[in-house]
Amino acid sequence: MKSGFAAIVGRPNSGKSTLLNRLIGTKVSIVSDKPQTTRNRILGIYTSEEAQIAFVDTPGIHRPGYKMNVRMMELVREAMRDVDILLHMVDVSDNYGKGEQFALDLVEKYNKTSILLLNKIDLINKGRLLPIIEQYARNGVYQEIIPISAKQGDNVENLVRKIAAFLPEGELMYPEDYFTDQQERFLVSETIREKLLNKTRKELPYSTAVQIEEFDESRRAEGLVVIKASIVVEKPGQKKIVIGRSGQMVKEIGTEARKEIEKLLIVKRVYLELNVKVIPGWRDQDFVLHDIGVN
């Protein structure tokens, strides 16, 4: 039996959360086309007869500005320091730049067994792939370079075999049916935030968060859970955008989130109340960061 930890790291929007969900076979990390969707460390457990791999999804590697972003990068570094293997994901449909060099330098700094994942190969001409492989191979940082499509599943089974080969022998670290360490309350807040990200404009994702104000399970045996949550923004104008004309936007966010939360909690009905509140500069305020788990 092989067992160990592998951190999925890379620039924002490289497909880390999509890969984690594909590997685990269920949704444990929200997915959006907006940068910096993942703000926390997300654990997903893969278990087979041959191996148990604890995958750690991390925030996108970036140069931090706000206190929230500083903490996000601390989470990245903690994960990179503590795991057995680094999986560095690169979006091959994007051009190589200073941001990618920054990520590569960070991987090299930790001097771990490292596998480069060239993701989104379904979006490029295959003739472009070999030069990219050769470019990264020259760095000598990676033990393996594997082209994949996290979205389509291309080469993902081969990736699992490669990871297992590098892991030490060991016992199960988690029960066989365990797939994440995230609490329901956190998963609910992330589900709401995912619907918010997918509905709102590009400038809003960075300045929005979700706080769970109430999580009432007293009638769960009857198939009902009551949840009250607040969508946090920084400016009154952003509040207007989230609420929408005649409250239509926040209503759509709530409807879509409620349906997914009912499946998540395995209950017949979720009563979900959403409010929108303005907290100027919340990304630098500890009490908000504590509420959303970035602390």
Q: What is the spatial distance between Cα 205 and Cα 68, in angstroms, rounded to a whole number?
A: 13
- Nearest by Cα to 87 from 2, 181, 178, 5: 5
Q: Where do we find the tokens 């936007």?
A: 249
Chain segment 183-229, per-residue pLDDT in tens: 999 999 999 999 999 988 776 777 899 999 999 999 999 999 999 99
Domain edges within the chain? 2-166, 184-291
Please state which of the four CATH numbers 3.10.20.90, 2.60.40.10, 3.30.300.20, 3.30.70.270 is assigned to the domain occupying 184-291.
3.30.300.20
The mean per-residue pLDDT over the stretch 136-156 comes to 95
Per CATH, the number for 2-166 is 3.40.50.300
Beta bridge partners of 90: 118
Q: Which amino acid is at 12?
A: P
DSSP 218: T
pLDDT at 88 (0 to 100): 98
Given pLDDT bands bounded at 50, 70 and 90, which one contains residue 36? confident
Whether residue 96 has pLDDT greater than 90: no
Contact 119, 9 (CB under 8 A): no
Q: What is the spatial distance between Cα 118 and Cα 92, in angstroms, rounded to a whole number?
A: 6
- Nearest by Cα to 6 from 23, 25, 31, 18: 23
Whole-prediction pTM value? Answer: 0.93
How many CA atoms lie less than 13 Å away from 114 in the CB half-sphere? 25
